[in-house]
Amino acid sequence: MAATASTDPQGSPQVGRRAPAFKLPRDGDAKVSLADYKGRYLVLYFYPKADTSGCTKEAMDFSRLKTRFAKLNADVLGVSADPVSALDKFRDKHDLTVPLASDEGKAMLTDYGAWGKKSMYGRTFMGVIRKTVLIGPDGKVIRIWPKVKVPGHAEEVLAEVQAAAKGVTAK
């Protein structure tokens, strides 16, 4: 059963506004920041937990499409609250090619509205909310997918990047 989620709109970026800056550790003992993607499209996908079924499918889908995103001047970055060691294992186990960032402190997750109340089986808890944010080469938010369903999502995001690169909206 999927968890339902709610976020405070105050903690979410707004379409047309500058995306919140971030700097995080990532897999492979590297660091990643929003500034690294200046002049490129950036797909930020937030996922609840490394190596769980939905998160694995989503990561594999984005990895499968990585070269198609790259041809559009776009990068993909997965973000969760998992420690870097878990991200390294997740990447290696599933041969993932998209970078994975760790936000154990949850500051970036909060800034992007991807940390909030969730409920499952009648229990309420705080957790990572599965959502995706597309940022343009100018650093402004182009589109937000607030409640992601994994099947077909990576393809939908790719279509939006293709449309943005042509100067139209895919919605």
- Boundaries of every domain in the chain: 25-164
E-assigned strand segments in the chain: 4-6, 23-26, 30-33, 41-46, 74-80, 100-102, 115-120, 123-128, 131-135, 141-145
Report which listed range, 4-8, 102-106, 145-149, is most confident: 102-106
pLDDT at 9 over 70: no
Domain at 25-164: CATH architecture: 3-Layer(aba) Sandwich (3.40)
- Indicate the pLDDT class of residue 5, thresholds 50, 70 and 90: very low
pLDDT at 10 over 60: no
Whole-angstrom Cα distance, residue 52 to residue 146?
A: 20
Whole-angstrom Cα distance, residue 102 to residue 91?
A: 13
Residues catalogued as catalytic: 55
